[in-house]
Structure 1
Amino acid sequence: MPHDIRDAVIDFVKHWAKRTGIAVTHIIDWLGLAVSKFYNWQQRYGKANEHNALIPRDFWLEEKEKQAIIKFYQQKPQEGYRRLTFMMLDQDVVAVSPSSVYRVLNAAGLLRRWNGKQSKKGTGFVQPLKPHEHWHIDVSYINICGTFYYLCCLLDGCSRYIVHWELREAMTEANVEIILQRAREKHPAATPRIISDNGPQFITKDFKEFIRVAGMTHVRTSPYYPQSNGKLERFHGTIKQECIRPKVPLSLEEARAQVADYIRYYNDERLHSALGYVAPKVKLEGREEQIFKERDSKLEAAREARKQKRRQEKIRPAQHHRVPERETFNPLTQQG
C-alpha cells in the first residue's frame, strides 16, 4: 500500500468519525479493513514505506555481501550453512547471522535437502562439564587396499578433542592399554572416566586391573546401542567420509600420515556444531567465550555499518533533489 493512500484512509476515517459521531471501528469494518492494520497504519502516519517486515532495511545485506557468501560456499560446498557462517565470521569474509546465510543460499538454490530424524542426544546421560572428565574409546576398521587395519581413538567428551590415536595392524587388550597409557602421558593430571563398548579388549580382567591401577573408572555402554558412545562413533564416521575414502591411501604409512593431518585439522581448525561452532582445541583451552564475544562484536559492527550506510544513502538523494527557494520580486527595490 503506498504511503499517501494509506494516510488518506486514516484522514478519511477520522474526518467522518468526528463529523458523524460513528465509532471508528464501525467505519473500519465498513471499509473492510482489519482493526490491527488500521492502527498500524495510524502509527506509521506520515512515514514512507521502508519495510514491511520485522528486520529493518538498515540491516539488509548488500549485493556484494551476498556474492561473497555464495563464493565462499562454492569453495567449501561440503560444509553446512551454520558452519559456513562462523567460518566466514572468523576469517573476516562477511559478518552475517546463520539465518541470513540460509536465505542467501536458499535463494540461490544451493541448499541440499536433508531429511533428518529427531535427535535423542543427551537423554539419560549426564554430559561432562569440563575437559578430561570423560574419555571415549573405540576401535574402528580401516580398509587399505583390501586389508583391514584398526584405528583406535580417545576422544574427550567435553571438548570433542582427540586426545590420542593409533592405527595398528592388531588391536589386542595390550595394545589398548598402550594407547591409554600414551594418552595419560600427554595429560598426566587427568583421571577421566573411560567410556567404551563391550568389545573383547574392554571386558578382560587385565583391562579392569589397568584401569584401577591408573586411578581411572570404566563404564561400558549398553549392548547393541552404539548411540551410548555416539561422540566417538560420529568422529569415526566423519574421518572415513572426509579423509579415508576421498584420499584412498595405498599403504599403512600413507594412511597414518593422512589420519595425522586430518586429526590435526579436526582438533585445531574444524568448527564443531555441538560446541557452538568452535574448534575442539579452543574448547579444551577454555577460549570459547572469547570467540563468542568477538563474533557478537563483529556482527554488531557490521549491522551498525549497514545502518550508517543506509542513512547516508537516504541523505544524499534528499540533498541532491532539494528545490532552491524562489526569489521574491520587489518592484520598489528591483528593476523588472
Structure 2
Amino acid sequence: MPVSDEEITEWLMEFIAGEGAAYGYRKLTVLLKRRHKLVINKKKVYRLCKRMNVLRPQRKLKNKHPRRLVNNRLITGSNQLWETDIKYGWIAGEHRFFFIMSIIDVFDRAIISYHLGLTCEAKHLVQITQEALMKRQLFGKPMEEKPFIRSDNGPQFISNLFENACDDFQLIHERIPPRTPNKNAHIESFHSILEAECYQRHEFETYPQVYEIVSQFIKDYNQQRIHGSIYDLSPYEYIEALKNNLVQPKHIKV
C-alpha cells in the first residue's frame, strides 16, 4: 500500500528531532530507505523538506516553543492526561488517502473529539482540542484543572499554531521522544483497534462512505465496545459507573 506524504513528513520530523539537525535531505532520504524500506528519491524528500521549512539554514532556527518532554505520572481520574495522534486510511474507489486525528482520555479510554477528513492540518488539531475542552466542560477553567495533552513530533503537533492555541487554552502540551510510540500507547492502541475492526473490514469506495462508517465506529467504540482494562465496560459505561460509585477507579501509570 502506498505511503502518504503526511506519514513521510512525520518520519522526517522524527529523524530531525532525534538524529540532530545536521542531516540534509540526502541523508534523510537514506534514513527513509533504511528504516522504513521506502522506495523514494532524494528529489521528493527535498520537496517535502522545503514544504516543511526544514532545509538548512532554516532548520537552525529555534522554535519559540521549546519541546516539553513527557513525565512519568500516575493517572487517577478523567481529564488528567489526553493523548492525540493521526492515522490515515485509503479510499480505494477514489485512489486517495483520508485522515483521522483523535484525542483520547487515558483514564476512561473515551475518544473525546476527532477530525475526519481528506486533509489533516494544525488548524484541525486546534479545533478538536477546543471541542474536547468544551465537551469536558473545561473550557475557561484554570490550568490546574485541565489535562496535559501528549503527542508525538508530527508537523501538526509542533506547529506554532497549535502551541499558540495551547497557550490561549492554558493547556500544557508535552511531546514524546522520537521513536517511542509506547509513550503514546493509548491512542496507538485505539488506532490498532480502528485498523483491525473497521478499516480491514471495509474497502472504502468514497469519502462519504468513509465518514459514515468511521463516525459510527467511534460512536460504538465509546458507547458499546467493552475494554478488559476497565471492568469489561465501554468508556461511557465506565464513566457512568464511576459517577454512581459502582466500581473503583483503576489508576494508570504512564
SS of the aligned residue for 1:158 comes to coil
Counterpart of 2:148? 193
> Aligned residue for 1:168?
117
> What does residue range 1-336 of structure 1 map to in structure 2 within 5 Å?
125-145=72-92, 146-189=95-138, 191-285=146-240, 286-287=242-243, 290=246
Distance in 2 (CA, whole Å) between partners of 1:289 and 1:265 is 24
The CA deviation string for residues 134-167 of structure 1, in whole angstroms up to 9 with x for no partner, is: 1111011111113111111110110000101121
8 Å Cα contact 1:127-1:158 kept in structure 2 = no
Higher helix share: 1
Which amino acid in 2 is paired with 1:153? S
The unaligned stretches of length 5 or more in structure 2 are 1-70, 140-145, 249-254
Q: Secondary structure at the match of 1:155?
A: strand
User: Following the alignment from structure 2 to structure 1, what is the Cα–Cα distance between the partners of residues 199 and 147?
Assistant: 29
Would the alpha carbon gap of residues 125 and 288 (structure 1) be closer, same or farther in structure 2, given more than 3 Å must change?
farther
- Give the residue type in structure 1 aligned to 2:169: A
Code of the aligned partner of 2:175: R
SS of 1:290's partner is coil
Runs of 4+ in 1 over 6 A off after TM superposition: none
Sequence identity, in percent? 25
Cα offset for 1:226? 0.6
Alignment CA distance shift 1:243-1:212 (3 Å): same
Classify 1:143/1:288 alpha carbon distance in 2 versus 1 (closer, same or farther; 3 Å): farther
Q: Provide the C-alpha distance between the structure 2 equivalents of 1:173 and 1:264, rounded to a whole number of angstroms.
A: 24
1:149–1:167 CA contact under 8 A, matched in 2: yes
- Please, what TM-score do these two structures have when normalized by structure 2? 0.62
Give the letter aligned to residue 290 of structure 1: L
For the residues of structure 1 that align with 2:125 and 2:103, how far apart are their CA atoms?
A: 10
Contact 1:221 / 1:228 at 8 angstroms: preserved in 2? yes
Q: Secondary structure at the match of 2:233?
A: coil
Aligned-partner Cα distance in 1 for 2:134–2:115: 15
Letter in 2 for 1:180: T
Q: CA deviation at 1:250?
A: 1.4
Task: After TM superposition, give the deviation of residue 290 of structure 1 in Å.
Answer: 2.0
Higher relative contact order (CA 8 A, sep 6+): 2
Q: How many residues align?
A: 169
Q: Give distance in 2, aligned partners of 1:166 and 1:209.
A: 19
Change (3 A) 1:216 1:179: same
- Displacement, 1:203? 1.1
**Aligned with 2:75: secondary structure?**
coil
The unaligned stretches of length 5 or more in structure 1 are 1-123, 293-336
Structure that is richer in strand per residue: 2
Q: CA–CA distance in 2 between the matches of 1:219 and 1:147?
A: 32
CA distance in 1, matches of 2:183, 2:84: 12
| TM value normalised by structure 1 | 0.48
Q: Which has the larger radius of gyration?
A: 1
Shift of 1:248: 2.0
Q: Distance in 1 between matches of 2:99 and 2:239?
A: 26
Change over 3 Å in CA distance of 1:235–1:288 after alignment to 2: farther
